[in-house]
Amino acid sequence: MFRFVAPVSIALLAGAAITLTQSGSGPAPAVAVPAPAMAAELRAGAPLDTAVFAGGCFWGIEAVFEHVRGVRSAVSGYAGGKTTSPSYEDVSTGSTGHAESVRVVYDPGVLSYGQLLQVFFSVAHDPTQLNRQGPDHGTQYRSAIFYRTPDQQRAAEAYVRQLTAAKTFAKPIVTQIVPLTAFYPAEEYHQDYIVHHPNQPYIVYNDAPKVENLWVRSPELYQ
């Protein structure tokens, strides 16, 4: 498991992002969301499980989940489309139907699927933005949960209903909840991108604040 940067360093990067956010750019602020009412119990001794999420550029989503306690790996890739083994250039056209996604492998004895959902909706992205996320536009940046099992589908749908009933967000949630048909890992240069390019302006303004928000809002889950 990698370590991105120390929390103090993340805070400095997030501070730089505040100025950009105030000027109308940068990521949306994190939202305090309740724990899922239909949260799965921890299952000691259970085999590793997999979840797949999409919510804008996969660099930031991957970085957030890599810092969640109980996550064994997070891989950037493509899901939800019709093209087999697409390239980044293919997906970027918006014509393949794929979304930039992240495959999360986690330990159900340490972390529940419900907790993954809570992280996804609170700090990883803004689920009210349709076919975009921050500065990125197009269906390839849509918000989506790709469920692998009926249990994941029920949990995701129930959580969206819960957040909607509680009026957690000022705007409607537009997250798609659809079956996972295939996941294609992205090119190697996209993996752990935030680790290799921590000072890139896009990372500083859009992704580092997400990791910072995870640390601030859910310290019990941060690693």
Residue 132 CB partners (closer than 8 Å, separation 6+): 56, 138, 141, 142
Q: How many CB atoms lie within 10 A of CB 87?
A: 13
Does 121 qualify as catalytic in the annotation? no
Distance CA 51, CA 132 (A): 21
The catalytically annotated residue of 13, 14, 33, 57 is 57
Q: Determine the Cα–Cα distance for residues 156 and 176; give it in Å rounded to an integer.
A: 10
Rounded Cα distance, 137 and 108, in Å: 34
222: helix, strand or coil: strand
Return the active site residues. 57
